[in-house]
Structure 1
Amino acid sequence: MTHLSDTLLLHVEGLGKHYNGNRAIENINLRLPKGIVHALIGENGAGKSTLIKLLTGLVRPSAGTIVWKEKEVIFKSPQSAIQEGIVAVHQELTLVDTLTVCENIWLGREPRTRLGTIDFAAMERESKRLMQELDIHIPTGEKVKHLSIADKQLVELIKAIAHDPQLLILDEATSTLGEKEVDKIYQVVLKFKQQGKSVLFVSHRMKEIFQFCDTCSIFKDGMHVTDGLIGDLTSSRIIEYMTGRDISQTYPPKLKDMDPVNKERFNTGPILEVKGLFTRSGLQNVNLSLYPGEIVGIGGLQGHGQSELIQALFGLEQITEGSIAVNGRSVKLNKPLSAIREGIQLVPQDRKTEGLFVELDVAENLIPCSLDRISKGPVLNRRAKTQAVKAMIEKLSIKVASETQVVKLLSGGNQQKIALGKWLLKDAKVLMLIEPTRGIDIKTKMEISALLRKLASEGYGVIVSTNEMNELIGLSDRVLIMFEKQTVNELKDGDITEQNILNAAFGKRGMAYEQR
């Protein structure tokens, strides 16, 4: 591999990890110079997470060596890795919701006064300094439970930076962020490079890999496939290394590409129609229509009303003006139960805390919304339950050992399928998903995308809100763009391009909306 610096910060050679004789990774080699941003690329299960666990002291290697700053080491715990200057920011949040931003940043290592008490003034002062240095604006006294997921992820980053690491590991840390927040992290990464520090970067977003990284290692099935300079690779080539497939196969054919006989089935009125919607949270004159068989994407810059629109359609926002109709019939969606009864269902962004009971098993997660269908009065029909659960596992190709497997042990893709499946058992008409492939590898993205298209082809209407440009373009039959909490443009067919989406996202209205 070609280096941009001759001074090695980290050298991994022949690294392997086995669990009960089963290979997680084997013979991994990595040379990381100072001042480099290096991407770890591969599908879920390819070995990236295992390598990160070895580098951060969560597990110990079965074979091979780790040389850190010219000294062979074995990190016995995450704390020992942190003390040596290796800190990771993961996709999964570790913050305590009931504490403030400042308290979370210094949790477990609070500065002390001469009397031995916690020096809250020093905590506050240092937190604000870090915020200013990183150009992040989050109130340090705010309880974390009141923050958005994106802001929580930024607090995780600040918490890591407060350790002054020599190697920062960003493990899907940008997966919940919009373009503005991603750019903040990019600026932090640039400062790291300038200071001679290094970053290991994990992301399933190709755009970020090419924006952030100098070099990369590509993994497949626990093995090192290749490495090199990012500038020598293309997205298509990387995906071929990862999966053996061409990038054009990532998304399934759209509604417009269906044969005429199948398309004719969906020549009906809208399944969902929103006109002139205003909400207490600030949505203004939002208009949307959704037809059976299609996938409508909701796009725009972070914070311009996409989440509020989805929440309003699920009865989580107070609607002050406008109308909503389901199959031509006017409805009031003043609470989630109202939306559910109308067949409007939501798969939230944070599936683990808002969409699933991760400590329970697969069956217990699939059936809670459809107990009326599998019960006789107050008595659960166990046979009907088993049949319904097995049918849904088969329908969605959920990879589980059995219906009694605990959900937290499943991959992100299978968890997402379960979060979706519970609504399909409830006779959904409209399926709404926020960031449906967040933190999911390319192969599983293909599966989720194909599944959503299959469900649309069965007559469901699907709404997808995503910050990922490729997903918005590749999955949507139509794209609705929001700016300043208004719908400003609607794109379809060949007009769904990155340039048109960005123009609308920055406030350039489409002709159809100018005339309203």
Structure 2
Amino acid sequence: MNEIVPLVEMTGISIEFPGVKALDGVGFRLFPGEVHALMGENGAGKSTLIKALTGVYPVDSGTITVAGTERNFGSPAEAQAAGISTVYQEVNLCPNLSVEENILLGREPRRHGRIDWKAVRRSARRVLGDLQLDHLDPGSVLSTHSLAIQQLVAIARSVQIEAKVLILDEPTSSLDAEEVQQLFTVVRSLRTQGVGIVFVSHFLEQVYEISDRMTVLRNGKLVGEYLTGELPRMGLIQKMIGRDVEVLAELDRSETAVSRAETAPGTALLQTKNLGRKGSVGNISISVAPGQILGLAGLLGSGRTETARLLFGADHADQGELRISGTSRNLRSPRAAINAGIGFSSENRKEEGLIGDLSVKDNLVLAMQASKGWLRRIPGRQQDQLSQKFIETLDIRPANKDALIRNLSGGNQQKVLLARWLIMNPQLLILDEPTRGIDIGAKTQIQLLISNLAAEGMAMIFISSELEEVLRLSDSIAVLKDREMVANLPNNGVTMDDVMAIIAGSNA
């Protein structure tokens, strides 16, 4: 394969942002008819490398060659015209338009100056057929389909423009197992047609299932290029995180959830009885004591986030009771919850958590400043001290309090969000998907932090789509289904099968 001219060859690519060396002399090759996984921790430079290739970011130094010709794309449109197309985790299509309209949007065949809708339909059917999506009605509205189908439509659009290079950036993060296999069927079909596919994912099993080759980045530098079949999983993880994989076993060795479960629980810090909100979620009866972690388990849409919002006062409960340290409370706002000693890290860190145009320091002290009131400014020296302390404690990279938060990786942004609430020293911390979309190194660091905080006496409510993660960290597990709580289990030998049986209703 090395004798074949690469579809893409990037050599010595360097990009620097204010306070951040995002890429430092990185190289990357993609050959026709291969799936090439781009691997690394959050902050390793994967997204920056993709954006350099697709014309989003100009490169400070280095060369980009496409099909043997040196190119310097000034925009994603130029890259797309050269046959490079990207499908992102958040599908960038028009949900109010039909499948066929999305596939040919901006390139509709015309006749006598008007769109030829029959030709649009024929072209869409042909592309869908090539991708084994004949069952999909081209005239159906895109929003009526699952996220998986919408991503396949985005791929169909790329195929229709005859993309030679297809970049899939976290395409499976919100898909179930069946939808992942449907996507992989399409990917394999494109591979046989000679399309080069860049695959970015944090799911190692999927990477090893679908990729032929992988390139590993770490801290903006190239670690190496490897054939997937020749690099064991533990070897990959070690190359990604740059340290012994013993850190990955540390969480399993500690088994803090088990040791905490053996101690007698104290008085419940937070307790609810039949708490709910009409049209949102109901029948929430939970209890969590200082030093305990309560996990919320359930499928997407089961009511986990809705429960968290009720407990934090972001939504107002209209039924049931909530008690804090034995006293009945009515939390009508997040400020009331903060004043009661509750912190909440939202699953939607970009829209509900962080302000991208502010610095790391500004984001870190945001909750503290809000609690004091905007007229009582936190002294600059105190802001600097707090920032430095938590940047070191949580290993936030880069260790620059003045860096813009939007220039940090997802994992480091998540650490900043956690640090914001740790500054407040809450009695109860609610974490909604704190490890979603981040690499295994950052995920392990955050999991260890959660366990250590509980060991130090903080009460925690932990939400994750990864059931294994919930089981690993939690002392007890509240199971939600169809926006109601259906079970509350002490975590003493509970298995994934046990929880899935409850969700499926087979225990009834």
What range describes the TM-score normalised by the shorter chain of this pair? 0.7 to 0.9
Question: Which residue is 1:15 aligned to?
Answer: 11
Q: Distance in 2 between matches of 1:391 and 1:224?
A: 30
| Letter of the structure 2 residue corresponding to residue 170 of structure 1 | L
Cα deviation per residue 1:65-117 (whole Å; 9 max; x = unaligned)? 6353xx43425242233223321123467578xx8455994797263755757
Range with greater deviation from structure 2 (446-455 or 211-220): 211-220
| Letter of the structure 2 residue corresponding to residue 161 of structure 1 | A
Cα deviation per residue 1:337-386 (whole Å; 9 max; x = unaligned)? 443333332211221221011111233323333237657x9342525555
Question: Which residue is 2:215 aligned to?
Answer: 217
Question: Which residue is 1:82 aligned to?
Answer: 80
Deviation at 1:239, TM superposition (A): 1.3
Question: Which residue is 2:29 aligned to?
Answer: 30
Structure 1 pair 310–192 and aligned structure 2 pair: CA distance change class (3 A): farther
Q: Distance in 2 between matches of 1:61 and 1:371?
A: 38
Deviation at 1:278, TM superposition (A): 3.9
| Letter of the structure 2 residue corresponding to residue 361 of structure 1 | S
| Letter of the structure 1 residue corresponding to residue 31 of structure 2 | L
Q: Distance in 1 between matches of 2:37 and 2:336?
A: 45
Question: Which residue is 2:278 aligned to?
Answer: 280
Deviation at 1:442, TM superposition (A): 2.1
Q: Is the 8 A contact 1:105 1:127 kept in 2?
A: no
Deviation at 1:448, TM superposition (A): 1.7
| TM-score of the pair, normalised by structure 2 | 0.79
Cα deviation per residue 1:429-471 (whole Å; 9 max; x = unaligned)? 2222222122322222222222222322232222222223443
Question: Which residue is 1:380 aligned to?
Answer: 377
Q: Distance in 1 between matches of 2:122 and 2:493?
A: 50
Q: Distance in 2 between matches of 1:137 and 1:297?
A: 42
Q: Distance in 2 between matches of 1:418 and 1:504?
A: 35
Structure 1 pair 7–133 and aligned structure 2 pair: CA distance change class (3 A): farther
Structure 1 pair 186–371 and aligned structure 2 pair: CA distance change class (3 A): same
| Letter of the structure 1 residue corresponding to residue 183 of structure 2 | I
Residue pairs, 1:226-375, within 5 angstroms: 226-230=225-229, 234-243=232-241, 244-246=243-245, 247-249=248-250, 253-256=254-257, 258=259, 267-317=265-315, 319-371=317-369
Q: Is the 8 A contact 1:25 1:47 kept in 2?
A: no
Q: Distance in 2 between matches of 1:344 and 1:51?
A: 39
Q: Distance in 1 between matches of 2:310 and 2:268?
A: 18
Q: Is the 8 A contact 1:179 1:301 kept in 2?
A: no
Q: Is the 8 A contact 2:213 2:225 kept in 1?
A: no
| Letter of the structure 2 residue corresponding to residue 66 of structure 1 | T
Q: Is the 8 A contact 2:296 2:461 kept in 1?
A: yes
Q: Is the 8 A contact 2:42 2:412 kept in 1?
A: no
SS in 2 for 1:200: strand
Q: Is the 8 A contact 1:215 1:228 kept in 2?
A: yes
Question: Which residue is 1:205 aligned to?
Answer: 203
Q: Is the 8 A contact 1:279 1:321 kept in 2?
A: yes
Q: Distance in 2 between matches of 1:298 and 1:137?
A: 39
Residue pairs, 1:107-122, within 5 angstroms: 109=106, 111=108, 114=111
Q: Distance in 2 between matches of 1:390 and 1:270?
A: 34
Q: Distance in 2 between matches of 1:212 and 1:136?
A: 28
Q: Distance in 1 between matches of 2:118 and 2:273?
A: 51
Question: Which residue is 1:421 aligned to?
Answer: 419
Range with greater deviation from structure 2 (20-29 or 41-50): 20-29
Which residue among 158, 162, 184 is the counterpart of 2:153?
158
User: Gaps spanning 5+ residues in structure 1: where?
Assistant: none
Q: Distance in 1 between matches of 2:340 and 2:277?
A: 20
SS in 2 for 1:88: strand
Q: Is the 8 A contact 2:10 2:65 kept in 1?
A: no
Question: Which residue is 1:456 aligned to?
Answer: 454
Question: Which residue is 1:52 aligned to?
Answer: 50
Q: Percent identity?
A: 30
Deviation at 1:20, TM superposition (A): 6.8
Deviation at 1:417, TM superposition (A): 2.2
Q: Distance in 1 between matches of 2:388 and 2:347?
A: 26
What is the count of residue pairs matched by the alignment? 490
CA RMSD of aligned residues (A): 4.2
Deviation at 1:28, TM superposition (A): 3.3
Q: Is the 8 A contact 2:268 2:287 kept in 1?
A: yes
Q: Distance in 2 between matches of 1:47 and 1:381?
A: 34
Deviation at 1:268, TM superposition (A): 0.6
Cα deviation per residue 1:242-301 (whole Å; 9 max; x = unaligned)? 2343242466724345589xx85x731222223333432353433322222233332222
| TM-score of the pair, normalised by structure 1 | 0.78
| Letter of the structure 2 residue corresponding to residue 443 of structure 1 | G
SS in 2 for 1:162: helix
| Letter of the structure 2 residue corresponding to residue 53 of structure 1 | K
Q: Is the 8 A contact 1:479 1:490 kept in 2?
A: yes
